[in-house]
Amino acid sequence: MILRVLFFIFVYIPIMVVGIPMMFVITRLGLYWHGPVQLFHWAGCKFLGMKVNVIGAPSHDRATLIVSNHISWTDIIAIGSKADVTFVAKSEIAKWPFVGFMASLQRTLYVDRKKRSDAARASKEMGKRMASGGAVLLFAEGQSDLGTHVLPFRSALIGAAQHAMEEAGAGEVLIQPLTIAYTKLQGLPVGRTDRSFIAWIKSKSVKQNIREIMTGGTREVTLAFGTPRPLSSGANRKELAKQTETEVRRMLVALNRGTPLPVAAE
């Protein structure tokens, strides 16, 4: 814990002091530079005691819809340290102190799930990002989970992305599965009881969850990127959701068990 405090004081704070004003000016000018964002997330991983392993590679410089499982708010820090993506988040996060401000600097797209009209607006923004050749990441379960299994992917989210893609004129779009797995805690395999100190358990408050993660031991998280595939406007969204869900589930089971990753069906 002492090392984390020293890292926060002498590394993390200086990065924020320089990086935050820089990103604020850049975003106000309508520009974007991933370098400072990635550095911030890298420092966040170090501060939280996370070692991030990557299998495969995120799609870069191409219009891509990345669909992933979701375990904790630390998923965003882990992914942000390795990939240049636009996150889609619930609107409540925009109001969180500091977190909402930092998420906005990263061009996070917010959606109010209670309003259909807002979902349509967010979908259009997703389409614009993909049309410009960027990657948009969806936590396709629609909520976080313990990390032992994958909840059903919501086909409506993929369908909305398809529709937005058409409207924005994004021709060749890829869909890429991503599996997030927390595999080790203090160097040992993560057991089911350990996952309550990693995942965002709904029975716990945000403050309690943050405190447990910050005071907990070091953890290893693996990001396994699957093979990108073409996402056509006329593809069956339910079939696509099921295919990517199955691939993410297979990879999660293998990573949790420490066995070789399965080969995706063509």
Asked whether residue 263 is domain-assigned, the answer is no
Residue found by looking up tokens 């309003």 in the block: 115
What pTM does this model have? Answer: 0.89
In a domain, 76, yes or no: yes
Q: Is 11 inside a domain boundary?
A: no
Positions of the chain with pLDDT lower than 70, given as ranges = 1, 116-117, 119, 160, 163-166, 168-171, 201-204, 233, 263-266
**Residue 212, domain extent:** 49-257
pLDDT single digits (tens) 97-151: 777 778 888 889 888 877 766 767 777 788 778 777 788 999 988 888 888 989 9
The tokens for 102 are 């930092």
Total number of domains constituting the chain: 1
Question: What does pLDDT average to over the chain?
Answer: 85
Kindly give the pairing relationship between strand 188-189 and strand 174-185.
Answer: antiparallel
Residue 34 resides in a domain: no
3-state helix, strand, coil in the chain (%, to 5): 50, 20, 35
Q: What is the pLDDT of residues 73-82, one digit of tens each?
A: 899 999 999 9
Has residue 28 been placed in a domain? no
Residues of the chain with pLDDT > 70: what percent? 91
> Which helix (H) or strand (E) is 126 found in, with range?
helix 116-131
22 in a structural domain: no
Is residue 15 included in any domain, yes or no?
no
Distance CA 242, CA 248 (A): 10
Beta pairing class for 219-225 and 50-55: parallel
Assess if residue 71 is contained within a domain: yes
DSSP category for residue 11: I
Query: 212, 134, 219, 125: which is closest to 174 by C-alpha?
Result: 134
Q: How far apart are CA 107 and CA 209, in angstroms?
A: 25
Beta strands, E only, 44-173: 50-55, 64-68, 86-90, 109-111, 135-139
**Cα-Cα-Cα-Cα dihedral of 176, 61, 93, 55, to 10°?**
50
